[in-house]
Structure 1
């Protein structure tokens, strides 16, 4: 059955009551009901939903003043109505994502997951002695005090590309480091951050911080002044527990706090894997907590000792000629050490790796910490002897060490505390399955306190999954993964390109899209070419027809090849400084330039390139005249912004003046066209909008904004976004003509700007090209600084096109950049 004509917006069949077809001046037909509900951006004007052309209607009658489409209405009324015809199996979306193609450096989900944990660059200061201090009043989800001492643990360091011209912003570098981590490290780090908020037994974590862009990313934790070993350590050295009941009480209470701190860690799905006395400290209220940074640093210490303190992989032969002595403050379970050794020894069967890492691993390390508190320096040190056939004989070394510990305990602990000795020795069993749970260890301490009629607080109504069940994240193992993540995942790809001897860096670059260009910025940026030849400041750049065009104060327009950026031709004829440049591809391909004397030259770009312009004309001069300052084109019309405060529309065919638009109070410095709207920016600090259909004014932006009036030097428009750049270094952003945001980007005037999707490129007086990402929704917009390209000269022109960034400078040069 033939389908009836329907409205392209609401998909309803046309009729003479509810869906009356109305013909717009652009030729499209929309039902009257949809036209009534379309939001009017400008007075008595609607935008066609099909082609976005602006359509005027009578101010008194509204959309009903538009003519009916009689032919469509007749067809709709002659055919019988079927309810099924209005139901479509494939519904068409009425809303398009304007920037769906724009590649983001980070996804919204990834940025939202980490943004609250990224500390500002000035939140942490490092003193000369290497001590860090947190000096921000608040950050993230928890408020902290100021001027607190912090500990810094390096999380990841990405190798920067030395030949990159691109410099990341601080936040972009932190996100790059986070993206460089593998999935296991990212999940583990996320667990640590979340656990620090929920668990009072963990030292407070402020967040993530990097000292410099290109340096390491640190986990910032609060450093507690009172370490457990400093307040209680080795008190049993001079006698057994029977010698002083108060000493045992002190030990039991501290031991109970240490155990509960480990329980808090395990309840968050985290396993330390190795512990030491330095991992535990007292908080302001006297409670024992774990310093997560110290746990990570301890894991690195063990890695350094196992690897011999070098980054190179030790050979099996060299490791079989020495003994491995772990520091007496590092306590690592057999199964964890085995995993470390398997990473470092050529023979993967060396060591004892048959037991998995789990919560039982912390029971072993925890028992060692309690023994260190209990008997002090008399705790024997573990030494792993070599076995020529099997490398490190971990099992034999551990069993021998446990026997020594048991012997020392018999001397230090009286018969009354025999149960404590048995429990601690059981925690040191080589098999994690035979060790008691950490909750059972706490219960044994509590039972001793009850037996001796000591008062204590706490309960044992807790359950921690045993050993390897539940797949906890092991912090000691995380250290190995962090080391593996310290290299940029793209480094191998870059190295492969270098090894392959890429013949010409220009080859293959011409097919890179703008989307791929912005997506590749995180890999850095290289200078592709430095174009020399102009004798004056660069004033304009344009790309088209296989050429790059550049204008300059030297009164010329140069033509460059986009294949190898060689100089092909120079257009001469201007008697004054060339101020603006535009490429037109309508009925014919043209390059048009305007100068400070009012001259407008139209150049043909068909090969061979001619020295003479196809046509030229001059603006009429009067006492206010100061030449052409800006150019843009639409269809067969050229628009010029002039020093006489007007915008003029010229016919490209013969240079006839078609229209003059008045309204600005100073020089019209910049022009832009988007969706059949002409935008003009002026030194008077305002942006005016004009209809391209009849050249009548639509709106004025910026005149009602608070603050001192600053000259607008550049504007750029893309779909519903309008960005204006000012002489004081700030930008202002409007969406659908509603002001959203203002931000200072440069130290000094912004002379040039280019917008590609959500990526904004700006340059100016401070000699930097800054790259920002515009993100947000209809109600809010955020300008995220992504990075910059430092240079030695003022930036005067910017163009992002065909996967490359073209930048013109005040020192007469043009540089071409490409993402790695």
Structure 2
């Protein structure tokens, strides 16, 4: 026979550690788990077996009775090992509250989300497709750059107005898993990289509906500081010391990215900036912008995946290089392959790896050292190769271009820096596997400053395990352009629209796929229909049997069809204002209404609909009485909330009063039944929870702010969540 065990921690009961305690509902749970279960409402606990809310003494589980019958079944053999008490500390923490997103997802991203008022965006920035600029609201001297990585949900055409954090989290949850993983990979890894403009987090621009990565922006970029040298004759021999200092810090930044498994893939002069101390930092947002520009150029040339010739390839590369954007040959072929474009000259067998960043960095350093002549030679080589493709060996022409670059270097810095010249030529090797490591480039730069005999004091470890496959930013989801989404879906030339119940209907009247009503309201695709007929305020609604029932101050109950929303029938007979209405779906479908004079009317909803109620009775009156304000149904019993501060239980069979529940200090204005619990709201500002098994009070929820009491006008309960509407316009979720 299997020993009885706790339904939460699955440990066998015993008399020492896993003591079985009996709850008011009759189920048993161990004492340790009862301590760890959440106590959402004071004085109550939700049974982990039946999820019914039951009374719970403030003294804790030790005040509950032991399950003696279960203890008798336990083997009294002292030689049998007891359960380890440490296991109970790891008992699962049960949360019975349904959420739009899991706690894990929210906790994963909340640390990256900046407040809504954290950033002030400069007007007319980012119009050329680049990054937007602004500053931090708390420190306006701190400039930032912003690059869009997603789109916030729009609520302009929706009846729902989402909060800022909800819109950001919904945007993140709507991303593709690969895109979201890459975004978190960048945010998490960037915090561990030195020589990097700080990545501050994610910020949602509610005005234009964009979700952006926010990075700090330095006052001077490399392009702004050294633009004249880049356009003219470069730094030359006289600037080698400054080039070495910048080159070392560039290498350190790229090494930091590679250590986190991230390959940038492309670089430009705008990717680097100087801080206040003259150190070079990498701007990750500029890398994203450059990557998107390169991807856009590739997509535009591809034109839907067709085969492109060498001349078109030459035009593509020349256009990109003229904008001082540098990326390795193997990256180009990977971009073409990802877009489904076949190049006439075939493709390289070399894969994108850590050596791809070495090629891009070498181009940046050569552009600083030689000046515009380097870029001109590179563009000239591309044009020459594209016109001579097929006539000569492409690899041989590539090696010829490398020799021209070597010649330019020798003319610029002389023959005394042979190691530097050789290092640059190796960085431009067509085979990415034969290029030097970033640490080798760093050592070469350092030798221009410190002599070799002093360099022996530094032991530089291998920065990256080359066997690990890195993630290339340009080939990832954040740089790849998202496909455009049509705002409307066309099928056979017919425009799909939404009717009031969320079902798609085209212009032929055919019904399509049913959509979620909330989703339709959010997107603004739900049409609304006005149903007019009442002569005064509508006080209650109920749905059932294919009908909508509405009560009103005009002393009537209207019946509407849910098929075409037309008026079907009117129940008349009340002598006072009808305050509430409910639908009963039992052996015979019924509609029950209550009025301000205490009258309770039961109407049959079977065809043909009659003019007279099948049953009616009245509440007893006293001097405090002001009629019925709320109705609720459970099985054969009707619950009424009254102006005399009480809740009454009536039998639907004969209308007899079964029970009266007292406790509220004002009118009971709203009732709801869910999971064996009756929830009552009152003008006294409190919500009371009652057990439906014995009609006893479970707990009282009360919020009094600054001495003000706000009446509870309406409430609903779903699973284990309460939503209450108050007189001051607030809606609270409990």
Name the TM tier (shorter chain). 0.7 to 0.9
Number of residues of Structure 1 aligned to a counterpart in Structure 2? 688
Quote the Cα distance in structure 2 between the aligned partners of 1:577 and 1:272.
72
Q: Which residue of 1 aligns with 2:292?
A: 300
Q: Does the 8 Å CA contact 2:497/2:525 hold for their aligned counterparts?
A: no
Q: Does the 8 Å CA contact 1:173/1:214 hold for their aligned counterparts?
A: no
Q: 1:421 to 1:709 in 2, by over 3 A?
A: same
1:369-518 map, 5 Å: 369-381=364-376, 382-383=378-379, 384-385=382-383, 386=386, 398-399=398-399, 401-451=401-451, 459=458, 461-465=460-464, 469-478=467-476, 482-484=480-482
Q: Which residue of 1 aligns with 2:246?
A: 254
Task: Please say which of residues 633-642 and 413-422 is displaced more in the overlay.
Answer: 633-642
Once the two structures are superposed, what CA deviation does each residue of 1:288-317 show, in whole Å capped at 9, x if it has no partner?
1110000111112222333448x9548546
Once the two structures are superposed, what CA deviation does each residue of 1:222-242 show, in whole Å capped at 9, x if it has no partner?
111122243345659669855
Which of the two has greater strand per residue?
A: 1
Once the two structures are superposed, what CA deviation does each residue of 1:238-263 show, in whole Å capped at 9, x if it has no partner?
69855x4xx32222112211221111
Instruction: For residue 645 of structure 1, report the CA deviation from its aligned partner.
Output: 3.1
Q: Which residue of 2 aligns with 1:577?
A: 577
Consecutive unaligned residues of structure 2, counting only runs of 5 or more, are 82-90, 126-131, 505-514
Task: Please say which of residues 365-374 and 205-214 is displaced more in the overlay.
Answer: 205-214
Partner-residue secondary structure (3-state), 2:375: coil
Q: 1:582 to 1:341 in 2, by over 3 A?
A: same
Q: Does the 8 Å CA contact 1:380/1:401 hold for their aligned counterparts?
A: no
Quote the Cα distance in structure 1 between the aligned partners of 2:403 and 2:413.
15
Partner-residue secondary structure (3-state), 2:609: coil
Q: Which residue of 2 aligns with 1:771?
A: none
1:294-693 map, 5 Å: 294-308=286-300, 313=304, 316=307, 320=311, 323-324=315-316, 325=318, 326-328=320-322, 329-343=324-338, 346-348=341-343, 350=345, 352-381=347-376, 382-383=378-379, 384-385=382-383, 386=386, 398-399=398-399, 401-451=401-451, 459=458, 461-465=460-464, 469-478=467-476, 482-484=480-482, 524=523, 526-527=525-526, 530=529, 532-535=531-534, 536-562=536-562, 565-586=565-586, 588-621=588-621, 623-692=623-692
Instruction: For residue 711 of structure 1, report the CA deviation from its aligned partner.
Output: 1.5
1:173-212 map, 5 Å: 173-212=167-206
The answer to whether structure 1 residue 122 and structure 2 residue 117 are counterparts is yes
Instruction: For residue 409 of structure 1, report the CA deviation from its aligned partner.
Output: 1.5
Consecutive unaligned residues of structure 1, counting only runs of 5 or more, are 88-93, 138-144, 510-515, 735-820
TM-score by structure 2 length?
A: 0.77
Q: Does the 8 Å CA contact 1:166/1:524 hold for their aligned counterparts?
A: no
The answer to whether structure 1 residue 132 and structure 2 residue 124 are counterparts is no
Instruction: For residue 45 of structure 1, report the CA deviation from its aligned partner.
Output: 12
Instruction: For residue 190 of structure 1, report the CA deviation from its aligned partner.
Output: 1.7
Q: 1:719 to 1:632 in 2, by over 3 A?
A: same
Quote the Cα distance in structure 1 between the aligned partners of 2:49 and 2:234.
90
Q: Which residue of 1 aligns with 2:85?
A: none
Quote the Cα distance in structure 1 between the aligned partners of 2:92 and 2:627.
43
Quote the Cα distance in structure 1 between the aligned partners of 2:254 and 2:36.
62
Match of 1:276 among 265, 268, 277: 268
Task: Please say which of residues 180-189 and 361-370 is displaced more in the overlay.
Answer: 180-189
Q: 1:169 to 1:360 in 2, by over 3 A?
A: same
Q: Does the 8 Å CA contact 2:14/2:20 hold for their aligned counterparts?
A: yes
Q: Does the 8 Å CA contact 2:159/2:521 hold for their aligned counterparts?
A: no
Partner-residue secondary structure (3-state), 1:478: coil
Quote the Cα distance in structure 2 between the aligned partners of 1:256 and 1:315.
42
Q: Which residue of 1 aligns with 2:88?
A: none
Q: Does the 8 Å CA contact 1:271/1:472 hold for their aligned counterparts?
A: yes
Quote the Cα distance in structure 1 between the aligned partners of 2:590 and 2:727.
31
Quote the Cα distance in structure 1 between the aligned partners of 2:392 and 2:597.
86
Quote the Cα distance in structure 1 between the aligned partners of 2:600 and 2:429.
90
Quote the Cα distance in structure 2 between the aligned partners of 1:404 and 1:576.
100
